[in-house]
Structure 1
Amino acid sequence: MAQLKKNQANSWLQAGVMAVLVSLPTACMQPNRVEGVVQAPTSSEAKSNSTYADVQNLVNLGPRVAGTPVMEKASSYLIDQYRKAGYITEVQTFTYQKFVDLGSNLIVDNVTIEGQALNGSIPGKLNAPLVAVPNVGRSADFAAVNVKGAIAILKRGEIRFSQKAENAAAAGAVGLIIVNNQPGDLYGGSLGGEAKLPVLGLSAEKGNPLIARTPNTQVNLNVNAKRQIVTGRNVIAHLPGVTQPKAILGGHYDSVAGSPGANDNASGTAVVLAIARNLSNTPQARQIWFIAFDGEEDGLHGSRAFVNAAQPQFLSNLKGMMNFDMVGVNNQLGIGGTSSLTALAQASLPQIKTFGSIRGSDHASFADKNVPVLFFYRGSEPNYHTPNDKTIDPKLLDQTTQVGLDILKRLLKTN
């Protein structure tokens, strides 16, 4: 694997690549929620669709969490596929500080209940009574019960996690448990900063029976989490000699902990690879870089590292960056981004749906550097950020690939 090093003479790379912890919206935030039902493809569809095979091969690796050994396997797979399509590849490594749960749980009546520390929780081991707080944890809800010296438990919803934690600490609680308000574990929850007490997330299935228990049950809360430095890996592919592309196509290949990330975002990763395969023997390929970003789910770290390492001239010479994220579920494909590029997309495909500016994915890093951007996205679905994100529709991948190709070719023709 070819890595970008400080002594390489890449015109776009500044000396040293280091991403720092930044406060950004949770990755893949949705402009609206679109429900979708995913139909498993037939065996003939799957066999004939290399893009679908790419998704499944990534999913089969398990959750692709930045900084884990799985990401080395995932990046190696992508490198191999791009090289088979005729491209040279480079791996841009970068580091950042990341909140890591090392195994958090709640022990009730000698039964261990696994949970997930919320990003921003302080670590802690507590033995204290468990007190259910009514509703969702507003100040008035805490006023209705006595949580001083106790571990408060309440439901997710209506107000931010950070506000629930602030209200719990203000009421004298020593710990907080937030129970998901929908089926499944509470993965990827963030407090948006460091809390004053340990905060654990539980699934509705595990948490709701505890809320209904007799008050003041004595429990042990173990929030085992810390911040550590992790190394991310951006996979960059282009034809030999292409040092100044006119366009960048990208999508993140990492997923959240616990989720194999078929739709979010093996789907976008595979579409970018499919477009690269389609163009590999055409003149257009000499005008493009293809990038699989790492660290998106932790705050767009891979794309931030890339644009921060790029020379200003490299970025200013780009006609656009096209980002593909969550494009394997829901029939309606939408686009958003810079007005000039959304207008160009509509000129190519008048029927395409547009939505307002959205910042929750890797194109935002390019937009911050004044690069025109276009975001391809099909909306959220019930399996978003859950262990059930395993299935996509190969026909939607093909459709997105074709739309991306049509718009890209039009973009490259612009002055």
Structure 2
Amino acid sequence: MSGNGRRIAALAMTMVLFVSALFLGNATVSANASWDQEILSRVDADRAIEHVRVLSEKIGPRVGGLESEKKAAEYIASQLGKLGYAIEKQPFSVPDQYIGYVHSGKEKWQVGASPEGRITGKKPVSGDVIDVGKGLSEEDYAAGAKGKMVLIQYDSANRDEQLKRAVENGAKGVLFYNTVGSRGNYGPAFSPRFEERVDIPVLGISLIHGQRLIERLEKGKVRIKVNTEHHGNLSSLNVIASRPAKTGDPHAPVVMVTVHMDSVVGAPGANDNASGTALAMELARVLRKHGSGVELRFAFFGSEERGLLGSQHYVNQLSDEEADRIIGVFNADMVATSYENVTHLYAMTVDGETNRVADAAVKAGKRLGKPVALGRFGSSDHVPFHQRGIPAALFIWMRVDSWDPLIYDIEKVYHTPMDTIAENISPERMQTALEVIGSAVFEVIRQSVPVREPWRKAG
């Protein structure tokens, strides 16, 4: 064959390969888009938000280790059990909790209590409220505080002096209200700590509740009653719902969707994280009959807000063989906020590097025209999996202005009494999260890839 002939043949072969690759690539995209419809036609934000309503309104704050968290676990287990999932409950020990309650008119607020204050139990303490500002000078107490419930703006550096002055001025009880956080977020309820014990109840209330009391004081006298509780010998729990691989292989690869079902003290936790919990419950409904060679596992962790305790317990009890079976963890946390300043649904990995989970989400977002941004973030239940070498990503709505240093924005009301459906849930963002995460999970399930191998980003 002549030189020209070889060149023509080579050119022809190149064209064949190019067209074949283009066809196969388009065919793959088309096939994936077709499979996406299996998710898009079924996931329903309104149905998910009904779960948010049960968790955040009927149950309310789901504090790790308390009865309310167990009620949430029972609700989740019941719902997924009805869908045919095998249910496992994993109890684990958690530290003591100090909880307070403020009764103001017909309202009852759950707040934090100080271990150094009096624990009243079921014998509440009543009194009129007086606002003393920071309570660090005699002028602050000019109106007199004897027998009063003293409201103080919390100053961490001077808190012992603040408490000392309140006691010296005859306070019957003290309510420290939180301040604005470093990102402009509203301070949540908390359990203040002190050097010395006192014989009056001491509570830590949210900025929002502090402001409400101040506003009511401007209109006249405000009388409240408070009680404080110490909860010891506590156990939290995880709820694990699984569907075996279609092949029946007990060693099949595992794909997980994980969330935390608890909230902080005093917060209904509609977005943080009833939204993620509801998303997982809705995806469990949609995916329950889709058989594949992969085991599908939904994990609802307890006590995330107390230091990732549930997910850490779960990962720690995995054998090496069990850990190696897990090929991807989709962790949903705060996936439906209505906060207008957030810009993206993020797929966050601990090290900022993409992996099988993040990559599947980004590809799904592109197919659906709903972009997913990659990022680096910890502070949720994907962290213990990453530390064990398991591909995992956090899905969360936020805005990131800088990665180094990290400067980001999330809703101001998270961890507060205003984390409610009315104040902080967007059906549209819930639907986007359901579609993107659901399509990504479904894609990884369909791949039925072998037990975890070194993952390489496709070229």
**Which range, TM-score by smaller chain?**
0.5 to 0.7
Partner of 1:201: 204
Please state which structure has a larger fraction of its residues in helix: 2
CA separation of 1:168/1:127 partners in 2, compared to 1, >3 Å: closer, same or farther? farther
**Aligned residue identity for 1:278:** V
| Structure 1 partner of 2:81 | 83
- Unmatched 5+ stretches in structure 2: 1-42, 181-185, 399-409, 450-454
What are the residue-to-residue correspondences of 1:56-67 with 2, within 5 Å?
56-63=53-60, 64-67=62-65
SS at match of 2:95: strand
- Distance in 1, matches of 2:312 and 2:230, equals 23
State whether structure 2 residue 417 is matched by structure 1 residue 386.
Answer: yes
Deviation of the 1:314 alpha carbon: 2.0
Query: 2:9 aligns to what?
Result: none
- Name the aligned partner's letter for residue 98 of structure 1: D
Q: Give the drift of 1:269.
A: 0.9
Match of 2:378 among 341, 354, 358: 358
| Shift, 1:236, TM fit | 0.7
| Cα distance change, pair 254–243 in 1 and its aligned pair in 2 (3 A) | farther
Work out which of the residue numbers 316, 322, 341 in structure 2 matches 1:314: 322
The alignment status of 1:276 with 2:288, answered yes or no, reads no
Partner of 1:189: 190
Which secondary structure does the structure 2 equivalent of 1:333 belong to?
Answer: strand
State the AA in 1 paired with 2:79. Answer: Q
Structure 1 position 349 matched with structure 2 position 371: no
Question: Shift in Å at residue 50 of structure 1?
Answer: 2.7
Contact between 1:179 and 1:204, CA under 8 Å: does it hold in 2? yes
Query: Which stretches in structure 1 are left out of the alignment for 5+ residues?
Result: 1-45, 213-218
1:55 aligns with 2:52: yes
Partner of 2:332: 324
Residue type at the aligned position of 2:270? A
Q: Secondary structure at the match of 2:49?
A: helix
Task: Show the counterpart of 2:23.
Answer: none
Report how many residues are paired: 350
- Return closer, same or farther for 1:267/1:168 CA change in 2, 3 Å cut-off: same
Correspondence 1:289 to 2:297: yes
Q: Cα offset for 1:404?
A: 0.9
What is the aligned partner in structure 2 of residue 123 from structure 1? 117
* AA partner of residue 189 (structure 1): F
Instruction: For residues 53-74 of structure 1, give each alpha carbon's deviation from its aligned partner in whole angstroms, at most 9, with x where no partner exists.
Output: 3223334422133444444443
Return the alpha-carbon distance in structure 1 between the equivalents of residues 289 and 354 of structure 2. 28
TM-aligned CA distance change 1:365 to 1:188, over 3 Å:
farther
Report the counterpart of residue 400 of structure 1 in structure 2: 433
- Aligned equivalents of 2:98 and 2:64: distance in 1? 11
TM-score (norm 1): 0.66
Q: Deviations over 1:331-377 (max 9, x none)?
A: 73222114133751435435323343231x22233334343321111
Match in the other structure for 1:38:
none
CA distance in 1, matches of 2:293, 2:75: 21
Give 1:367's aligned amino acid.
Answer: H
Q: 1:238 aligns with which of 228, 235, 242?
A: 242
Q: 1:62 and 1:343, CA in 2 relative to 1: closer, same or farther beyond 3 A?
A: closer
Q: SS at the partner of 1:297?
A: helix
User: Which deviates further from its counterpart, 280-289 or 397-406?
Assistant: 280-289
Identify the structure with bigger relative contact order (alpha carbons < 8 Å, sequence gap 6+): 1
Change (3 A) 1:347 1:115: closer
Q: 1:337 aligns with which of 346, 349, 358?
A: 349
For the structure 1 residues 186 and 221, does the alpha-carbon distance in structure 2 shift closer, same or farther, using more than 3 Å as the test?
farther
Give the Å deviation of 1:250. 0.9
**3-state DSSP class of the match of 1:319?**
strand
Q: CA deviation at 1:176?
A: 5.7
Matches within 5 A, 1:74-223: 74-103=72-101, 118=112, 121-124=115-118, 142=136, 154-156=152-154, 162-166=156-160, 168=162, 177-181=175-179, 187-191=188-192, 196-197=196-197, 199-202=202-205, 203-208=209-214
Identity of aligned residues (%): 23
User: When the two structures are superposed, what TM-score results if normalisation uses the length of structure 2?
Assistant: 0.61
- Report the Cα offset of residue 243 of structure 1: 6.1
Output the aligned Cα RMSD: 4.4
Structure showing greater radius of gyration is 2
Distance (whole Å) between structure 2 residues aligned to residue 404 and residue 259 of structure 1: 26
In structure 2, what is the Cα distance between the partners aligned to 1:397 and 1:112? 33
1:268 Cα deviation from its structure 2 partner: 0.6
CA contact (8 A) 1:336 1:376 kept: yes
Partner of 2:233: 229
Q: In 1, are the aligned partners of 2:64 and 2:236 still within 8 Å (CA)?
A: yes
